């Protein structure tokens, strides 16, 4: 009886651990990290979560404006070709 219980528990652990695996590649995760940094999410601290820490608020706004300007230039360049 104990062997059956151990087998059932073992199988349930193996099955549940594979359910948590995600199908993202390393490159996709890296790209998400870059996008988060460009959006200023690396200025979120433990004390300010989920918002940006007020100390960094102006810097994050400046970064967002620069990122949007860069996207506009890229979009303009791609439509001009």
- Asked whether residue 53 is assigned to any structural domain, the reply reads yes
- Asked whether residue 15 is assigned to any structural domain, the reply reads no
For residue 56, count other CB atoms closer than 10 A to its CB: 16
pLDDT of residue 15: 63
Per-residue pLDDT of the chain (81 residues; tens, 9 = 90+): 667 667 766 767 666 555 555 788 999 988 888 887 777 666 666 666 667 778 888 887 888 888 888 888 888 877 766
pLDDT of residue 27: 92
The range of the structural domain enclosing residue 67 comes to 25-80
- Asked whether residue 5 is assigned to any structural domain, the reply reads no
Q: 81: helix, coil or strand?
A: coil
CA–CA gap between residue 46 and residue 56 (Å, rounded): 14
pTM of the model: 0.43
How many domains does the chain divide into? Answer: 1
- Asked whether residue 29 is assigned to any structural domain, the reply reads yes
């Amino acid at each position: 009886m104990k062997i059956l219980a151990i087998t059932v528990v073992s199988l349930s652990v193996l099955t549940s651990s594979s359910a948590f695996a995600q199908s993202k590649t390393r490159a996709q995760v890296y790209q998400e990290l870059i996008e988060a940094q460009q959006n200023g999410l690396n200025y979120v601290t433990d004390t300010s979560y989920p918002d940006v820490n007020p100390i960094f608020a102006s810097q994050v706004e400046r970064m967002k404006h620069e990122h949007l300007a860069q996207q506009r230039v890229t979009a303009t360049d791609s439509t001009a070709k």
